[in-house]
Amino acid sequence: MSRLLVDTHALLWWLADDPQLSSAARDAIADPANEPLVSAASVWEIAIKCSLGKLRAPDELPQRISEEGFAWLPISAQHAWQVRDLPTHHADPFDRLLVVQALIERLPIITTDAHFGEYGVEVRW
């Protein structure tokens, strides 16, 4: 089984069945041989953007994510601390945390964000 970290926008596109999600990304998430993971950082990011009126998401988002077959990737103290050592290819704090999680856990990440690759993270799209 291959574990994959799913970026926030890819998660939202999956949940909305949005055609912006590439067919390769969709196939990787749907493949029963893979374990797609959602970081707690993504849920936190979505919650903040919803509270600011910048995004709409289902009220039962965490439950919906689980029902869709995603597993959870918690944020550890090691993940949070390691962000300090990242070069500043990316300024977004949520994406920087996802980069660190992908590096520490040795996970490829499903994202369209080209900055992730600059950190040596395997990007799948």
Give residue-wise pLDDT tens across range 51-90: 999 999 989 999 999 999 999 999 999 999 999 998 887 7
Strand order in the sheet with 123-124: 71-73, 34-39, 2-6, 109-110, 123-124
Token digits of residue 62: 């965490």
pLDDT value, residue 74 = 97
19, two tokens: 């055609």
* Strand ranges, E, within 1-125: 2-6, 34-39, 71-73, 109-110, 123-124
Distance CA 49, CA 117 (A): 25
Average pLDDT on 84-97 reads 87
CATH number of the domain enclosing 57:
3.40.50.1010
- Give the tens place of pLDDT for each residue, 15-60: 999 999 999 999 999 999 999 999 999 999 999 999 999 999 989 9
Domain with 55, as residue range(s), is 2-124
Mean pLDDT for the stretch of residues 118-125? 92
The 3-state DSSP class for residue 108 equals coil
The structural domain count of the chain equals 1
- 85 near 36, Cβ under 8 Å? no
Query: Residue 88: its pLDDT value, please?
Result: 81
